[in-house]
Amino acid sequence: MKKNPQSTQKTNRITGAAILALILIMVFVQRTNLDWLKNWWALLFLIPAIASINNLITEIQRRKGFTFSLASNIAGIIFPVAICVFLLLGLSGEIILPVIIILAGLSMFIIGFVNQEQGSGKIIKALRPWFFSWGFAVILIGIITLVSNLQNNPNAAVVYAWFGIALLVAACGGLVSSWIDFRKHGKPTFIVLAHLVATLVISIPGLAAIFGLFS
């Protein structure tokens, strides 16, 4: 589907107006010295987020499905907005790092939904179960890290065990991928073997962590 020039120009004008409004807000905040805004300059991170929103709307108007560009723009909105909020509220690194890890896992999970048939879409389609499993595993790691950071004396053995579970979740992508390739070709292939080897390599430290070999 061809792009509508008028629609694109309208989106660009709205984006420009939003960026201008943001700059005016920054000037206002800087002049008024609001106490609860610790790092008002963090609002600058919203500029790339606004640009990503513009690109996201343009990509949706093209109606090409859930492309890699669409997924990238969603991540391009989430991360700058999150960083802006963290800095404005002056949150500690014990909270910021786990949340960033969670957002990274969410981005991987979102990329797994890409249904583009060309370019990077082919690679994502071939590795889709890996994107889902690793995305969920990274989200789980972020949650584990956040919970352990909020505790005064976290149980190391329990934390390691949960990290091991996260690795086993990630390894599930290899099992699913190998099964899909086996069903597709009707016999074991090099790709099936590669998926299984990767699954084994990831599962070993996961099982070791669960059984307390690292504690």
- The encoded tokens of residue 5 equal 């020039």
Residue where a domain terminates, one of 91, 109, 140: 91
Q: Is the pLDDT of residue 187 over 90?
A: no
User: What is the structure's pLDDT at 48?
Assistant: 83
Domain total for the chain? 2
Same domain, 118 and 160: yes
Same domain, 195 and 176: yes
Same domain, 149 and 74: no
Same domain, 115 and 133: yes
Yes or no: say if 82 and 99 are a contact pair by the CB < 8 Å rule: yes
pLDDT digits (tens, 9 = 90+) for 115-132: 887 777 888 888 999 999
Residue where a domain terminates, one of 43, 73, 91: 91
pLDDT digits (tens, 9 = 90+) for 53-87: 888 888 888 777 888 888 989 998 999 899 888 88
Q: Is the pLDDT of residue 10 over 80?
A: no
User: What is the structure's pLDDT at 164?
Assistant: 94
Residue where a domain terminates, one of 36, 65, 91: 91
Same domain, 206 and 137: yes
The answer for 201, left when phi > 0, alpha when psi is -120 to 50, beta otherwise, is: alpha
Same domain, 197 and 123: yes
The answer for 17, left when phi > 0, alpha when psi is -120 to 50, beta otherwise, is: alpha
Yes or no: say if 4 and 61 are a contact pair by the CB < 8 Å rule: yes
Residues 137 and 101: their CA atoms lie apart, in Å, by: 10
Instruction: Give residue 155's domain range.
Output: 100-215
